[in-house]
Amino acid sequence: MKFEELINGKLWAVRDDNEDSHELEILFDHWNDVVWLRDFFIRNQEDLNAFYHVSLEDAIWDTIEDSDKIETMLLELAENDNLDTLFRPLDNNEISESLLQKDKARLKKRPLHSSWLRIYAIRLSTGAYIITGGAIKLTLKMEEREHTKLELSKIEKVRNFLLSEHIIDDDSFIDYIAEL
């Protein structure tokens, strides 16, 4: 498992040893690929129809539009040390901060339906995050579908790795990176 610094020590992304790209790049590549999106929404048509009531074509274009918006927002907020305004605890019932908290980012407002795009991250400390992946979440619970269960597994794997390396915040993470 490797980590790539994206912006000023505040935004990082996981890169699997056998991948050429980091998780955020893979995510945005998928979310902007019409063929990939068409295949995804065809495979998940039942969820799309049950929860969102939009056509396949609208789902594809809404995803591309939302992808552009969330990518711009993520990068601008990272540059301005404001990532905490975008990320929220992964568990909606979590009310206090926790060590290496599992978080999610999503667009707050969009016309016609809520955004189904999610970016998942570990919060190192105030304003510092490691992106572990993301998903198109069409169901209420992540455990309901394999692709979102995979994201739960990835975020937990990264958190466990960090803890095994005695990384508990951005300072210990930077020390770890410096030793590599």
Domain spans of the chain? 2-179
User: How many other C-beta atoms are found inside a 10 Å radius of the C-beta of residue 133?
Assistant: 23
| In the chain, % of residues over pLDDT 90 | 89
Q: Rounded mean pLDDT of the chain? A: 95
Taking residues 97-115, what's their average pLDDT?
91
Q: At what angle do helices 56-79 and 23-31 cross, to 10 degrees?
A: 150
In the chain, the percentage of residues whose pLDDT exceeds 70 is: 100
Q: Which of 7-11, 29-33, 38-42, 115-119 has the lowest mean pLDDT?
A: 7-11
Helix 23-31 crosses helix 34-43 at what angle (to 10 degrees)? 80
